[in-house]
Structure 1
Amino acid sequence: MSSLCPFAKLASAGATCPVKSSSDNKTTINHTDDDDDDNEKTGNANTDPRVVPPKCPFGYDSNTFKLGPLSCMVCHALLHQSSKCTPCSHKFCKACILRFKDCPLCGADIQGIEPDDELQGLVDRFIDGHARIKRSHAAGDGEAASDNKTKVIYEDVSMERGAFLVQQAMRAFRAQNIESAKSRLSMCAQDIREELKSKQDNQELCSQLGAVLGMLGDCCRTLGDAPSAITYYEESAEFLSKLPKKDLELVHTLSVSLNKIGDLRYYDGDLHSARSYYARSLDVRRSAAKEHSAVASQVIDVATSLAKVADVDRNLGNESMAVEGFEEAIKCLENLKLESGEASLEQRRLSVLDFLQKQLDDK
């Protein structure tokens, strides 16, 4: 699953994307002029002195969310299918606690696991209300907000909620609580679909939905549900293919979704279909590399796609085409010059180059 937040572009000026800040991937998302204009408009709207920016009814937003009574101490995400251990009564996600024989908090033997519907109901209300409320400026702090005279307006789903749901999904996914991650991403996708009903041509929403659908594909793939994974990846590619290829992260997400479909087709034995998707990914990456020839990662991506296409060609009996593809990929990587500070890219370049040279040795 990608560690890049599809909502990062909507972060306010100076703010840190909640997902990017908690991830290991430090890739920077490029902003277009249109994105800057959108941020300016958002900023102007938020300066209205009569309105406080959308906040969770419990006082949290995606930048301040902390582990607490609504969180699982195993996956560090909001509880999903809340379950209580007996006899110690400590509470975790069902999928998380089923991996243990002793309570992770107190060490007591787990004699049984019971659903905690009341706590899960509270978690669900927390998620449902998150970032949907705007309070009048007169409400002031949280104590004033509880005043019966305070006017509370429920707004449409905000992008803050989307970033929050993706953050929770990624925490759960990293901890192998895949059902929890899938649940949060499904909510996020549904929110964006609702927004798109009235904003069908909104490129930012389409980009976000494409990224979230790709993450849902990763969840299904991890769960062993290849047909559903392919469906999500194909829908992700459909949305992303319609967008201008200016943003390198968008291009990367699109090419990865196409490659993942190719991988699943490959493992299923449908080599012709696999090659078709690998070739589409290669075309996307070639175009990006032409426009961004100075970006080393694009060249490595092209070489990787060439290797995938060539590997299928070899399995289909097209040895001459396979050798041609491997040799082109090797040439791309050998001509790539990296700076001394690009150690991770150099390691990746050498890894792909080693694979390619072995393929030629095996011809």
Structure 2
Amino acid sequence: MSSICPFSKSSAAGSCPMKFDNKTGQKTKDGSKNDEHKDSGTISPKCPFGYDSETFKLGPLSCMLCRALLYESSKCVPCFHKFCKVCISRFKDCPLCGADIEKIESDNDLQATVDKFIDGHARIKRFQVSADSKEVGHEQKNVIYGDVSMERGAFLVQQAMMAFNGKNVESAKSRLNICAEDIREQLKTQGNTPELCSQLGAVLGMLGDCCRTTGNSGSAVNYYEESADFLSKLPAKDLELVHTLSVSLNKIGDLRYYDGDLESAKTYYTRALDVRRDAIMERSNVSCQIVDFAVSLAKVADVDRSLGNEDAAIKGFQEAIDRLESLKLNSSDAALKQRRLSVLQFLHNQITDKQSSVPNTSV
């Protein structure tokens, strides 16, 4: 795994050779600032295409449709504007110039450049390297180079989220798979640390979302289960981890429910309920956890109703209602208030309409 910028034949590890003077805008030979009044300095990383942790922007390696880095780079003929294959395949006219698209051709050379860029800028961890003293003019200056990548995995996840929001699911999966691969390599050397387990659990959950979006429920369940496995290894003290774990379990339950496997759905819903019950026993004053707990009660109760356990269903719905109605929220919690009201409305409908059999999948 290379940590060298792909646009450089030789540079400090993790640094991009294209540095610019802040005052003149001129590129310096060694990347140092042209400042005669300082004996040392820290060089802000600058990639020639602007893809660094502070100034990320759309550029020649980006798809203007999904706004992520190009994946399966393709060019329109005859205008030769370039997009991701999946993105441009939805159009008959070029979305940039309006020209009729006669055909779409792969641009393997450009994609190779994108892949090298990702390998050099995303698959490395942020660190700083002290370079040897550099001579600028008549002075010796000690320059510290900064890595142009974002924190570990953040760049890839950022790209995946942009691609996913742009409906390029295959691009999102590709970036997330690279991220997961990198974290697995770290696990081999560092063991199951809380940080790595939480990172991998989150990434696997996102991969599950990608598969679920494309209708591949089998792969989605596998990713969600692996995500839950890693997250279950962590102490249930982090609220975000508790939420992520319970959501993964609920998503498996949803998929099992839609497949008609109600017993399996109830098993996963109950596991999520237990995780959330333990969380509110640990911290009973966290409002969002109480709402999550009520949602889990509703999911289990809904399956009980579908299985013919009406008494258990009514009991579960009523407990959820009691929890939410006793919840006091601050005036600033507008979003949580709306969510509470939405869940309460669903619960009251279940009490009054015993024929309803549609599960709540809002969480």
Give TM class, smaller chain: 0.7 to 0.9
Cα-to-partner distance string for 1:97-151 (whole Å, 9 max, x where unaligned): 11111111111111111000000000000001115396543487xx9xxxxxxxx
- Matched with 1:192 is 183
- 2:53 aligned counterpart, secondary structure: coil
- Residues 57, 243 of structure 1: alpha-carbon distance in 2 compared, 3 angstrom cutoff: farther
Write the deviation string for residues 251-273 of structure 1: whole angstroms up to 9, x where unpaired.
10000000000000000010000
1:148-202 per-residue CA deviation (whole Å, 9 max, x = no partner) reads xxxxx9x9xx872410000000001111110000000000000000011011131
The answer to whether 1:333 aligns with 2:324 is yes
Instruction: Name 2:91's counterpart in structure 1.
Output: 100
Q: Give the superposition deviation at 1:65.
A: 1.6
Runs of 5+ consecutive residues of structure 2 not aligned to the other structure = 1-39, 137-144, 355-363
Q: Hey, what does 1:355 align to over in structure 2?
A: 346
Of residues 275, 279, 289, the one that matches 1:288 is 279
TM-score by length of 2: 0.78
What SS does the corresponding residue of 1:160 show, helix, strand or coil? coil
SS in 1 for 2:173: helix
Structure 2 CA distance for aligned equivalents of residues 304 and 176 of structure 1: 28
Asked whether 1:310 is paired with 2:301, we answer yes
- For 1:232, the equivalent position in structure 2 comes to 223
Change over 3 Å in CA distance of 1:275–1:113 after alignment to 2 = same
Q: 1:164 to 1:56 in 2, by over 3 A?
A: farther
Q: Does 1:345 align with 2:336?
A: yes
2:66 counterpart of 1:75: yes
Give how far 1:59 is off.
Answer: 6.6
Q: Distance in 1 between matches of 2:161 and 2:183?
A: 18
Gaps of 5+ in 1: 1-48, 144-152
Q: Deviations over 1:26-70 (max 9, x none)?
A: xxxxxxxxxxxxxxxxxxxxxxx9997998796742332211000
Matching residue of 1:173: 164
1:137 is aligned to: 131
Q: Equivalents in 2 of 1:175, 1:351: separation in Å?
A: 28
1:63 aligns with 2:57: no
**2:232 aligned residue:** 241
Partner of 2:214: 223
Q: SS of 1:212's equivalent?
A: helix
Q: Does the C-alpha gap of structure 1 residues 139 and 68 become closer, same or farther in structure 2, counting only changes over 3 Å?
A: farther
Are the structure 2 counterparts of residues 304 and 298 from structure 1 closer, same or farther at C-alpha, using a change threshold of 3 Å? same
Tell me which stretches of 4 or more aligned residues in structure 1 moved more than 4 Å: 49-59, 133-136
Q: 1:139 to 1:353 in 2, by over 3 A?
A: farther
Normalized per residue, the structure richer in helix is 1
Q: Secondary structure at the match of 1:243?
A: coil
Q: Paired residue for 2:140?
A: none
Identity %: 70
Q: CA RMSD in A?
A: 2.6
Corresponding position of 2:154:
163
Are 2:108 and 1:117 equivalent residues in the alignment?
yes
Equivalent-residue separation in structure 2 for 1:207 and 1:50 (angstroms): 36
Code of the residue aligned with 1:90 in structure 2: it is H
Q: CA deviation at 1:212?
A: 0.3
Deviations 1:188-244 (A, max 9, x none): 000000011011131101110000000000000001110000000000000000101
Query: CA separation in 2, counterparts of 1:63 and 1:86?
Result: 35
Task: Give the structure, 1 or 2, with the largest relative contact order (CA under 8 Å, sep 6 or more).
Answer: 1
Taking structure 1 as reference, are residues 56 and 279 closer, same or farther at Cα in structure 2, changes over 3 Å only? farther
- Residue pairs, 1:2-17, within 5 angstroms: none
Q: What is the total number of aligned residue pairs between the two structures?
A: 304
Distance 2:279 2:244 in 1: 12
Aligned counterparts of 1:56 and 1:293: Cα–Cα separation in 2: 48
